[in-house]
């Protein structure tokens, strides 16, 4: 649940009025002065959103420039413009520097839809020669236009604004392929470990930056461009979404599961993935777990979801399920639980418990799966092994059904139903003809009625009451 946030305006009409003062007439300096005074008053009572802070700084620079066509110190005016633009860009980008490794300001600004040349101008104003006054004036005007379309209009009337479109995410496949190639070299010749160590760490950093990039995309998708409106819980949900996309890439054939079926040879003494696959991917998974504590739970959850998902269909013809692929994924779920379910904390205990609950729910009697569930069943048996209570419950769950098998209706079934209906209707007619004082009729034998029914007399304790209410 998103917690309420404090805003400086008492109603959205006040923000609408402020927007009109700023943007209605570029030459109306009196209205712009009112806007500066209003923003200054708001800032005195509460902290302003970054967009309004930037609006105040840019508006003050524009008013200072307009009030003195021939300023005595152009350098002071250039500094004022440059400081406002630097604060705008930094304030947008810094809250979205997510993850353990920093990303370039240009890449984050590109996801936010910020003009690239503003980022370059910010870099020049910070680290190089101060840009010219004409260039700074143009940057200030374009920044004000960007704030209008990306903050004021969406905040005042969200329904009339097209949601921002984030750039499509880069594919993870090249990064995972590069990581796999480097790890294969090191596994086959351990003496090369130090030589390729930095390259492998570079790939791990790229994967972490991809997670941060995906998290920013989730922010843009819901219209939060770093204005500081999202709470910690919202940010966690966006990070979880990014980790789910990462797990989906890991579950593709050629990643955790070897592409060749000949390489999917499992240990005979344990329910674990192929030994070579574990050596290949364990460093990456451990690094992700170190940086994201929820990663094991998300990975096991995505594996269970795949094992219990209906098989895809092509032109109404189900595609054959690759049983060794499912078996390998089930063993990776077991490996995840074995390595990160040490029982030292409540969260660790939840990992195994939640996986068992998900499997039992998907494989229970009410399940309507139309796929081979051998891998999911094997995973559930491996998780429950060694626990007598779980083994007993599992034997009941997996017991073959002995009840009547569903079949098509026949004329004999309809005849039986009609006979029972006639018996019930006869009971109903006899009941309406009875009078409470007619004790002879009341003492009718139970054999008169259909099986399971009997007529209550006036001496019984039954009383009329609404459905669902029992009066003793």
Range of the domain at 34: 12-160
Question: Which residues are CB-neighbours of 385 under 8 A, at least 6 positions away?
Answer: 391
Q: Is residue 458 part of a domain?
A: no
Q: Are residues 274 and 385 in the same domain?
A: yes
User: How far is Cα 172 from Cα 256, in angstroms, rounded to an integer?
Assistant: 13
**Helix (H) / strand (E) containing 314:** strand 313-314
Which of 160, 191, 211 is where one domain is finished? 160
Half-sphere exposure (CA, 13 Å, Cβ side) for 31? 12
User: Looking at residue 432, what is its pLDDT?
Assistant: 53
Mean pLDDT of 446-468: 66
pLDDT tens per residue across span 215-261: 887 766 555 554 544 444 456 788 888 899 999 999 998 899 998 88
3-state secondary structure of 364: coil
Q: Are residues 116 and 195 in the same domain?
A: no
pLDDT tens per residue across span 416-445: 888 888 877 776 565 555 444 444 444 444
Q: Is residue 450 part of a domain?
A: no
Q: Are residues 228 and 364 in the same domain?
A: yes
Q: Are residues 390 and 254 in the same domain?
A: yes
User: How far is Cα 97 from Cα 241, in angstroms, rounded to an integer?
Assistant: 17
User: Looking at residue 342, what is its pLDDT?
Assistant: 54
Question: Do 176 and 255 meet the contact criterion of CB atoms below 8 Å apart?
Answer: yes
DSSP string, 111-149: HHT--HHHHHHHHHHHHSSPPPHHHHHHHHHHHHHHHII
Half-sphere exposure (CA, 13 Å, Cβ side) for 18? 27
Q: Are residues 320 and 386 in the same domain?
A: yes
Among left, alpha and beta (phi > 0; psi -120 to 50; other), residue 453 is beta
Q: Is residue 453 part of a domain?
A: no
Q: Is residue 449 part of a domain?
A: no
User: Looking at residue 394, what is its pLDDT?
Assistant: 74
Question: Do 214 and 253 meet the contact criterion of CB atoms below 8 Å apart?
Answer: no
Q: Is residue 437 part of a domain?
A: no
Which of 160, 191, 218 is where one domain is finished? 160
Lowest mean pLDDT among 116-125, 310-319, 360-369: 310-319
User: How far is Cα 169 from Cα 209, in angstroms, rounded to an integer?
Assistant: 12
Q: Is residue 459 part of a domain?
A: no
Considering only CA atoms, which of 80, 74, 78 is closest in space to residue 60?
Answer: 80
Mean pLDDT of 65-87: 83
Mean pLDDT of 112-129: 89
* Structural domains counted in the chain: 2
Lowest mean pLDDT among 144-148, 183-187, 232-236, 266-270: 232-236
User: How far is Cα 449 from Cα 221, in angstroms, rounded to an integer?
Assistant: 66
Query: Cβ atoms within 10 A of the Cβ of 54, count?
Result: 24
Reported confidence tier of residue 135, pLDDT bands at 50, 70, 90: very high
Q: Are residues 240 and 294 in the same domain?
A: yes
User: Looking at residue 424, what is its pLDDT?
Assistant: 75
Considering only CA atoms, which of 171, 174, 188, 197 is closest in space to residue 283?
Answer: 197
Copy the structure tokens of residue 284: 């990456």
Copy the structure tokens of residue 450: 């259909």
Q: Are residues 331 and 305 in the same domain?
A: yes
User: How far is Cα 275 from Cα 258, in angstroms, rounded to an integer?
Assistant: 11
User: How far is Cα 147 from Cα 19, in angstroms, rounded to an integer?
Assistant: 10
Considering only CA atoms, which of 243, 271, 259 is closest in space to residue 335?
Answer: 271
Reported confidence tier of residue 406, pLDDT bands at 50, 70, 90: low
User: How far is Cα 396 from Cα 402, in angstroms, rounded to an integer?
Assistant: 12
CA-angle at 349, arms to 389 and 271, nearest 5°: 70
Reported confidence tier of residue 455, pLDDT bands at 50, 70, 90: confident
Name the H helices within 293-322: 295-307
Q: Is residue 406 part of a domain?
A: no
Lowest mean pLDDT among 31-45, 49-63, 424-438: 424-438
Q: Is residue 467 part of a domain?
A: no
Q: With pLDDT > 70 as the criterion, what percentage of the chain qualifies?
A: 77
Question: Do 351 and 297 meet the contact criterion of CB atoms below 8 Å apart?
Answer: yes
Q: Are residues 341 and 209 in the same domain?
A: yes
pLDDT at residue 346 greater than cutoff 50: no
Mean pLDDT of 373-380: 86
Query: Cβ atoms within 10 A of the Cβ of 383, count?
Result: 23
Half-sphere exposure (CA, 13 Å, Cβ side) for 259? 4
Q: Are residues 131 and 208 in the same domain?
A: no
Half-sphere exposure (CA, 13 Å, Cβ side) for 123? 9
Half-sphere exposure (CA, 13 Å, Cβ side) for 219? 30
Reported confidence tier of residue 314, pLDDT bands at 50, 70, 90: low
User: Looking at residue 229, what is its pLDDT?
Assistant: 45
Copy the structure tokens of residue 217: 């995309």
Q: Are residues 134 and 263 in the same domain?
A: no
User: Looking at residue 336, what is its pLDDT?
Assistant: 92
Q: Are residues 199 and 310 in the same domain?
A: yes
Which of 112, 130, 160 is where one domain is finished? 160
Q: Are residues 38 and 115 in the same domain?
A: yes
Highest mean pLDDT among 201-205, 268-272, 312-316, 408-412: 201-205
User: How far is Cα 211 from Cα 202, in angstroms, rounded to an integer?
Assistant: 14
User: Looking at residue 434, what is its pLDDT?
Assistant: 46
pLDDT at residue 345 greater than cutoff 50: no
């Amino acid at each position: 649940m998103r917690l309420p946030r404090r805003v400086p305006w008492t109603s959205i009409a006040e923000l609408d009025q402020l927007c009109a003062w700023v943007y209605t007439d570029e030459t109306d300096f009196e209205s712009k002065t009112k806007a500066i005074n209003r923003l200054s008053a708001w800032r005195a009572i509460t902290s302003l959103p970054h967009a309004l802070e930037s609006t105040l700084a840019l508006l003050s620079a524009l008013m200072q420039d307009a009030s003195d066509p021939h300023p005595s110190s152009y350098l002071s005016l250039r500094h004022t413009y440059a400081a406002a633009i630097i604060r705008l860009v930094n304030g947008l980008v810094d809250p979205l520097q997510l993850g353990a490794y920093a990303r370039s300001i240009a890449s984050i600004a590109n996801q936010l839809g910020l003009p690239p040349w503003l980022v370059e101008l910010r870099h020049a104003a910070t680290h190089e020669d101060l840009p010219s006054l004409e260039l700074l004036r143009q940057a200030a005007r374009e920044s004000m236009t960007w704030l209008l379309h990306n903050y004021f209009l969406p905040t005042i009337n969200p329904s009339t604004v097209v949601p921002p479109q984030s750039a499509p995410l880069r594919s993870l496949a090249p990064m995972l392929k590069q990581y796999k190639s480097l790890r294969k070299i090191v596994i086959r010749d351990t003496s090369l470990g130090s030589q390729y160590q930095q390259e492998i760490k570079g790939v791990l950093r790229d994967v972490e930056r991809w997670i941060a990039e995906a998290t920013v995309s989730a922010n843009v998708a819901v219209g939060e461009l770093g204005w500081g409106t999202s709470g910690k819980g919202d940010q966690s949900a966006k990070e979880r979404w990014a980790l789910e996309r990462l797990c989906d890439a890991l579950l593709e054939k050629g990643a955790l599961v070897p592409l060749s079926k000949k390489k999917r040879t499992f240990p005979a003494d344990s329910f674990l993935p192929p030994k070579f696959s574990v050596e290949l991917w364990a460093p990456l998974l451990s690094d992700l777990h170190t940086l994201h504590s929820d990663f094991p739970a998300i990975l096991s959850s995505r594996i269970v979801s795949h094992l219990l998902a209906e098989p895809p269909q092509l032109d109404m013809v189900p595609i054959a399920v690759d049983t060794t692929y499912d078996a390998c994924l089930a063993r990776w779920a077991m490996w995840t639980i074995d390595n990160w379910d040490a029982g030292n904390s409540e969260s660790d205990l939840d990992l195994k418990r939640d996986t068992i609950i998900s499997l039992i729910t998907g494989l229970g009697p009410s399940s309507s799966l139309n796929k081979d569930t051998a891998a999911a069943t094997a995973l559930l048996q491996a998780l429950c092994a060694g626990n007598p209570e779980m083994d007993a419950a599992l034997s009941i769950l997996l017991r073959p059904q002995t009840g009547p098998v569903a079949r098509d209706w026949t004329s004999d079934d309809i005849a039986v139903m009609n006979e029972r209906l006639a018996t019930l209707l006869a009971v109903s007619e006899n009941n309406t003809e009875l009078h409470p004082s007619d004790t002879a009729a009341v003492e009718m034998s139970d054999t008169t009625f259909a099986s399971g029914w009997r007529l209550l007399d006036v001496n019984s304790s039954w009383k009329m009451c609404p459905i669902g209410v029992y009066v003793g």
